[in-house]
């Protein structure tokens, strides 16, 4: 073998040896990262499976316990009428609660006497 060729081969081998350890470390890091992503995907998949099984069980519980809400198909006018009726109902309820609170606070300070009789009307209010 010629001297020039031998020198060139030695240089290439030295270069490969110099680049070897960092390249090896880089490849090991890549392998670790790939393994970590694979483990994360597997964990995510198993979690998705368990959460997918849970809603089905919860749906069964809900189906037996409560009735599902029905969506009303209302026109805008009907929706406005319903909203007005509900607001009036809530206002009446609030007023009744406020009057009940004020009468109960008045009753606490009043002298004890005979208890008032309930009205003689029936349960239907007639």
For 94, the token pair is 């609030």
The pLDDT, as a whole number, for residue 100 is 86
Q: Is the pLDDT of residue 88 over 60?
A: yes
Domains of the chain, by residue range, sit at 9-61
In sequence order, the 6+-apart residues with CB closer than 8 A to the CB of 68 are 62
Chain segment 98-111, per-residue pLDDT in tens = 988 887 766 555 55
Q: Confidence class of residue 82 from pLDDT cuts 50, 70 and 90?
A: very high
Question: Model-level pTM?
Answer: 0.32
Question: Cα 97 vs. chain centroid, distance in angstroms?
Answer: 35
Q: What are phi and psi of 2, to 5 degrees?
A: -75, 155
């Amino acid at each position: 073998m010629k001297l020039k060729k031998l020198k060139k081969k030695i240089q290439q081998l030295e270069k490969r040896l110099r680049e070897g350890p960092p390249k090896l470390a880089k490849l090991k890091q890549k392998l670790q990262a790939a393994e970590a992503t694979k483990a994360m995907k597997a964990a995510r998949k198993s979690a998705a499976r368990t959460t997918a099984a849970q809603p089905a069980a919860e749906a069964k519980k809900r189906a037996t316990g409560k009735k599902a809400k029905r969506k009303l198909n209302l026109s805008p006018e009907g929706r406005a009428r319903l909203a007005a009726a509900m607001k009036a109902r809530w206002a009446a309820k609030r007023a009744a609660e406020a009057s009940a609170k004020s009468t109960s606070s008045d009753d606490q300070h009043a002298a004890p006497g005979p208890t008032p009789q309930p009205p003689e009307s029936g349960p239907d209010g007639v």
